[in-house]
Amino acid sequence: MLWSRDGKPSVGLAVPFAVLAVACLGVILVPPYASAWWVYALAALVLVVVAGLLALSLRRPDRTWLDPAPAYLMFLFVGLVHHAAGGALGGTSTGLTASLLLPIIWLAITGTRRELWVASGLTVLVFVLPIVLIGAPDYMWADWRRAVVWITVAIVLAPVIQRIVHDLDRETRRARTANERVERLFDSAPHGVALLDPAGTVVRVNTALAVIVGLEPPDMVGHPFTSFETPGEDAISDHVERLMSHRSEIMDAECRLRDSGGNDVAVALSSTVVQDPQIGDIVMVNVVDVSDRRRYLDRLAHLADHDVLTGLANRRRFESELERHLDRCRRHGPNGALLLLDLDNFKQVNDSLGHNAGDQLLVTIAGLLRRSIRSTDVVARVGGDEFAILLTDADQAAAQRVADLVVERIRDHAATLDGVRRHVSASVGAVTFAAAAEHSADILALADMTMYDAKESGRNRVALLAEGEGRGPRSSMRLQWQSRIEEALEHDRFALHFQPIMDMKTGRIDSAEVLLRLRGEDGELVPPGRFVYIAERAGLMPRVDRWVLDRSLEMLAQLRQIVPDFCLEVNISGASMGDPAVEQTILSALQRFEVDPHALILEITETSAVADVALAREFAERMAALGCRFALDDFGAGFGSFYYLKHLIFDYVKIDGEFVAHVHRSSVDRTIVRSIVGIARDLGKETVAEFVSDPEILEVVRAEGVDYAQGFLIGKPVPMDVFIDEFLLAPAPALAPAPAVAAVAAD
């Protein structure tokens, strides 16, 4: 390098000038000698002084008067060399005069414009002083021609050289700075970067990639990039091959690298081919460690298919596995069995010992079930205390054997416990796929009915639906509910009751919740808890919800003639969310009855939302765009309460009655209610307390800031005409505030 980083000349630049100076001195030291010996000695001495001053200037970090001094002394050296060669009349004088280029070019490269002017003056002196001091015949005034030429070189040519040198120096520095910046960016990049040749061999890697692999960057250079991949995989070679086939594109891929400790690291690759005519094609690969993201996605995928508490498959995963097995049965014939299990007396555990004790028992039983089946079978938690087991390869005898083993293990485990947990047992309904095919019925519904056969037979036992018999489960009456529901839809045998909701601030009843009833043949009104479950299993809930929504909006139009700002809550099942026919019913009914959409509050329970949060959100967004509002029912009853609150659109949060019923006696329940109210208020949502059945409960929820109250203290569900007489036309009861929502609830 001829030029140092601080702008001062380097030793490498001084070497060629020193060689030329020594050559000039060597020429005059060769006989014959034209001058006295002291001239040669003085020239050599001057050259030594020049070398010493140059060495001193190179050692100093800053530019001082020492930097141009060697060049100035070189003019004296040139004059002595010129004179030693015989002066103007010497035979070699013309060539030795050219040594003036040494100091001039040196100053053009290293000096300033002022120092070049000094050089011009010294050039004049080199030619004029010998003429004046020595004179003819050695030096004639005719020598002024060469003086003019060399002065012109110093004044005209040297600045041009100086400008060229400075421009080159500036460009060199700019290129060096840019290169250093690129180097720093490459080495300091937060993600891994590798440069490969077209064959996939590592040319260079940065520190981040070396850290991922657990090696030093030099240790990776020269090795195929595939050698750092997890053995048995060839994602990198495929990636490079595809990249070289599509050179103008950016290719993405994912693979796993094996680090120096033997651990696999999931990485994402993003690569492109950098084409260079001089060095050839270079593959640049960006490597990002996605291990945390992969673990997070795997965790989300696991949570989507598994029960949070027990770790077993959830209802969604179980139904998927069941449908897959049914496809196999349709192709290859019925095989296997389905066991549906419900825990007996489990509610007493929660009521007596609390939910923590109940959760611990569920986790233990889940472990027992997991150990009772083969790895090819599937066990799932499909409800609160309800489990399902899919035996992929089993006949009736095998199904009976597994079911008996499950009942026995749960009974034996409960015998080791104390208190009410000792009375926990299992009722199991077992149905083979062959038996389900004989009955041409849904196997899950048959297993459910068979399980109730076990319960009705005394619990703690197994009920197996036999093959080859026309007789179905004793509880097959449940199948009759499907036809009863269908008949009710066809012949308008449903009825709607209204339960008032009180606004705690005003004490008014200006909203209500719609509750569905089914009229029996004897005039008995059947509550939804008796038939909604069957309707959901039979896929009838969208039709039921359409009936309820249409009638509710018709009644809401009548109620708003009495109370113009009256609002109605209508429950909607998970199966109806996103159903085009249900949405069309809402749209057409709102238009037909000229009801303000803001008066319709759609109530969704956690069990409805949990099936498909994304679908529930899309449905809520479409309905909210119309102006409808939403209420989240039974808030706090499930593990995902706050998740739904975050990801779904809701205007009201209905606090689960489990926390309200004893809030006046339980400090824990009161703390939970206070927390829910605080969270809802911070999110700009209003709260409704369900199960308000006592004046003390009402005072507590009012004190905690609940916005609305609903329960038997406020009013029981009644037909529409009774509701109007008792709550809209009659004087308001002296309780306090009023409500704000309405839905089809399974009360």
Residue with more model confidence, 689 or 729: 689
Residue 180's pLDDT is: 74
Residue 639's pLDDT is: 43
Q: Which residues of 215-251 are buried (b: 16+ CB within 10 A; e: fewer)?
A: bebeebeeeebbebbbeeeebbeebbeebbeeeeeeb
* pLDDT of residue 705 exceeding 90: yes
* pLDDT of residue 658 exceeding 70: yes
Q: Which of 178, 173, 16 is nearest to 106 (CA)?
A: 16
DSSP letter at 227 equals G
Peptide bond into 500 cis (omega under 30): no
Q: Which of 22-26, 245-249, 341-345, 487-491 has the lowest mean pLDDT?
A: 22-26
* pLDDT of residue 77 exceeding 90: no
Write out the CATH class of domain 306-472: alpha beta
Residue 561's pLDDT is: 93
Residue 31's pLDDT is: 66
Q: Which residues of 673-683 are buried (b: 16+ CB within 10 A; e: fewer)?
A: bbebbebbeee
Q: How far apart are CA 236 and CA 120, in angstroms?
A: 67
In tens, the pLDDT along 607-653 reads 454 456 677 778 888 889 999 998 888 776 554 456 566 667 788 98
* pLDDT of residue 373 exceeding 50: yes
Residue 439's pLDDT is: 78
Residue 88's pLDDT is: 55
* pLDDT of residue 744 exceeding 50: no
N-to-C CA span, the chain: 90
* pLDDT of residue 130 exceeding 80: no
Residue 500 is encoded by which pair of tokens? 């008032």
Peptide bond into 597 cis (omega under 30): no
- Report the half-sphere exposure of 525 (CA within 13 A, side-chain side): 12
Residue 606's pLDDT is: 52
* pLDDT of residue 349 exceeding 60: yes
Residue 30's pLDDT is: 63
Say what percent of the chain tops pLDDT 70: 82
CATH of region 482-729, choose from 3.30.450.20, 3.40.50.10240, 3.40.190.10, 3.20.20.450: 3.20.20.450
Query: 576 φ, ψ to 5°?
Result: -90, -15
- In which band, very low, low, confident or very high, does the pLDDT at 97 lie, cut at 50, 70 and 90? low
In tens, the pLDDT along 191-244 reads 888 888 888 888 888 888 888 888 888 888 888 888 888 888 888 888 888 888
In tens, the pLDDT along 17-75 reads 667 667 666 666 666 666 667 777 777 787 778 777 777 777 777 777 777 777 777 77
In tens, the pLDDT along 522-573 reads 777 888 877 786 787 677 889 999 999 999 999 999 999 999 999 999 998 8
Q: Which of 154-158, 385-389, 477-481, 708-712 has the lowest mean pLDDT?
A: 477-481
Residue 448's pLDDT is: 84
Q: Which of 530, 554, 524 is nearest to 482 (CA)?
A: 530
Residue with more model confidence, 335 or 520: 335
- In which band, very low, low, confident or very high, does the pLDDT at 175 lie, cut at 50, 70 and 90? confident
| Domains 189-295 and 306-472 agree in fold | no
- In which band, very low, low, confident or very high, does the pLDDT at 1 lie, cut at 50, 70 and 90? very low
| SS3 label, residue 337 | strand
DSSP letter at 9 equals B
In tens, the pLDDT along 8-31 reads 566 666 676 667 667 666 666 666
Q: Which of 370-384, 645-659, 689-703 has the lowest mean pLDDT?
A: 645-659
- In which band, very low, low, confident or very high, does the pLDDT at 309 lie, cut at 50, 70 and 90? confident
- Mean of the per-residue pLDDT values for the chain? 80
Residue 478's pLDDT is: 58
- In which band, very low, low, confident or very high, does the pLDDT at 268 lie, cut at 50, 70 and 90? confident
Sorted by where each begins, the domain ranges of the chain are 11-180, 189-295, 306-472, 482-729
Say what percent of the chain tops pLDDT 90: 26
Q: In what order do the strands lie in the sheet with 462-465?
A: 378-381, 386-391, 337-344, 425-432, 462-465
Residue 504 is encoded by which pair of tokens? 């705690």
Residue 2's pLDDT is: 44
- In which band, very low, low, confident or very high, does the pLDDT at 299 lie, cut at 50, 70 and 90? confident
Homologous superfamily of domain range 189-295: PAS domain (3.30.450.20)
